[in-house]
Amino acid sequence: MKIKFLIVAIFCAGVFAVPAGAAVVVSKNVTYNPSISVSGLANRPALKGNIAHFLQVCGWFELSAEGSKSDYELALSGQGGILRMDLTQGGAPLGQWSIPLNFSEREVAKTAVDAVIEKTFKDLKVRGFCHSKIAFCGQTAPGVRNIFICDIDGNNIQQVTSYRGLCVEPSWRPDGKSICYSKYGRTTLDIAETTVTSPKRSRIISAYNGINAGAAISPDCRSMAMILSPDHMVDLYTMNLASRQLTRITRGKAVEASPCWSPDGSQIAFVSDAPGSPRIQIADLRSRKVRTLPTIGNDAVTPDWSKDGKIVYAARVSGGYTLAVYDLNNGTNKRVLEKPGNWESPTWAADNRQVVCKRSDGPKGTLYIVDTWTGNARLLVSTPNPLSMPAWSPCVRK
């Protein structure tokens, strides 16, 4: 019964548009994004199209037709190997940038849109968002799953691992340079790590007797939270990555899964069936006290902790899983989605607003981006083969 729960836990696991010239207000109680139009660069239509594309998929703007009335106007021009950008609001200048055209059009477009996001929403400190990546599990053969990564628009898919078994539960290092994951062998379940840059390097970082799963590196990169079962009890541990010293956080007959760290590294949220059904608990690493979050639904699984103090999770409601957010700042719960389908394994983007998740409708899965402020969902990746367990990387500053 306990092992069955662990397997289920592992595998299932605002802005308002205003008249031009007025200030654009950023609020978490949002219905609309500000509009933006893109003009110029007639001699580089592909580059202009890529910039418009990333403005559309970044989740922070509504793209307007060129020449139409919008909250922001982005004028582009290019000469001598330099892209020039001028951002205005109601005719008033907000920012000017010059970007060398010595990268691919997609990379230049990401850099351009990152600059616009950072300037427009500077109070949110969203830096390098378009250069972030999304990791996920994909089936490469019957009974075989490997780790892949893609861009925030679902393109540029790259395979990270190439094993002939199961690689699941991808989790990014805070520096975004490598991914930890649970790797099944014939008789083992270990935690491995693979770099995402070439040449790719892989290593086993936890191979204790029994289960090694749920790897999550602490924000300071000094410790790793994980699920171990050296004495046949499935509990939460932390390991000092330098000394390899283990610290046991929970002890008992309950089964734990899916750990994630608080932004300051002082607490760990995880799933436990100690309350009688799978629920999210938080362990304070100093006091060793554990508390259960008040969540919605019959079960609450696969939590992820945002940098601004919110926990997103999958909640079982009326026989299916939906997404919900518990705000630790004010103690409120919010159901994010009212859409049909099973929505599982959410993880935060670095903007503390959007999450990536799996939607299950039948035997196969698709990956979606969900805006937790508006409830809007955007298809990210869909393939003939099953996909699962997405994980959004930290922002990578370019």
pTM of the model: 0.91
Task: Say yes or no: 86 and 163 in one domain.
Answer: no
- Whether residue 14 lies inside any domain: the answer is no
Kindly report, residue by residue over 334-357, the tens digit of the pLDDT: 999 988 889 999 999 989 999 999
- Whether residue 25 lies inside any domain: the answer is no
- HEC letters along 20-44: CCCCCCECCCCCCCCEEEEEECCCC
Task: Say yes or no: 216 and 271 in one domain.
Answer: yes
Task: Say yes or no: 245 and 314 in one domain.
Answer: yes
> Residue 80: what pLDDT?
85
Task: Say yes or no: 119 and 145 in one domain.
Answer: no
> Residue 25: what pLDDT?
37
Of the residues 77, 102, 124, the one at which a domain ends: 124
Of the residues 124, 154, 180, the one at which a domain ends: 124
Peptide bond into 199 cis (omega under 30): yes
Distance (Å) of CA 240 to CA 217, 227, 268: 10, 14, 15
Domain that holds residue 44: 35-124
> Residue 363: what pLDDT?
60
- HEC letters along the chain: CHHHHHHHHHHCCCECCCCCCCCCCECCCCCCCCEEEEEECCCCHHHHHHHHHHHHHCCCCEEECCCCCCCEEEEEEEECCEEEEEEEECCEEEEEEEEECCCCHHHHHHHHHHHHHHHHCHHHCCCCHHHCCEEEEEEEECCEEEEEEECCCCCCCEECCCCCCEEEEEEECCCCCEEEEEEECCCCEEEEEEECCCCCCEEEEECCCCEEEEEEECCCCCEEEEEECCCCCCEEEEEECCCCCEEECCCCCCCEEEEEECCCCCEEEEEECCCCCCEEEEEECCCCCEEECCCCCCCEEEEEECCCCEEEEEEEECCEEEEEEEECCCCEEEECCCCCCEEEEEEECCCCCEEEEEEECCCCEEEEEEECCCCCEEEEECCCCCEEEEEECCCCCC
- Whether residue 10 lies inside any domain: the answer is no
- The DSSP 8-state label assigned to residue 140 in this structure reads E
Task: Say yes or no: 217 and 97 in one domain.
Answer: no
Question: How many Å apart are CA 394 and CA 226, to the nearest integer?
Answer: 20
pLDDT tens per residue across all 398 residues of the chain: 333 333 334 434 422 222 233 333 344 455 679 999 999 999 999 999 999 999 999 999 999 999 889 999 999 999 889 999 999 999 999 999 999 999 999 999 999 999 999 999 887 777 889 999 999 999 999 999 999 999 999 999 999 999 999 999 999 999 999 999 999 998 999 999 999 988 889 999 999 999 999 999 999 999 999 999 999 999 999 999 999 999 999 999 999 999 999 999 999 999 999 999 999 999 999 999 999 999 999 999 999 999 999 999 999 998 899 999 999 999 999 999 988 889 999 999 989 999 999 998 766 779 999 999 999 999 999 998 899 999 999 986 55
Kindly report, residue by residue over 361-370, the tens digit of the pLDDT: 766 779 999 9
- Whether residue 6 lies inside any domain: the answer is no
Q: How would you classify the pairing of strands 72-79 and 35-40?
A: parallel
Question: Which CATH number goes with the domain that contains 110?
Answer: 3.40.50.11830
Domains in the chain, number:
2
> Residue 73: what pLDDT?
97
Question: Which CATH number goes with the domain that contains 161?
Answer: 2.120.10.30
Kindly report, residue by residue over 99-113, the tens digit of the pLDDT: 999 999 999 999 999
Question: How many Å apart are CA 147 and CA 336, to the nearest integer?
Answer: 27
Task: Say yes or no: 120 and 142 in one domain.
Answer: no
φ, ψ (nearest 5 deg) of residue 126: -90, 105
- Whether residue 197 lies inside any domain: the answer is yes
- Whether residue 113 lies inside any domain: the answer is yes
Task: Say yes or no: 133 and 120 in one domain.
Answer: no
Task: Say yes or no: 155 and 289 in one domain.
Answer: yes
Share of the chain above pLDDT 90, in %: 81
The rounded mean pLDDT for the chain is 90
Question: How many Å apart are CA 260 and CA 120, to the nearest integer?
Answer: 30
> Residue 362: what pLDDT?
63
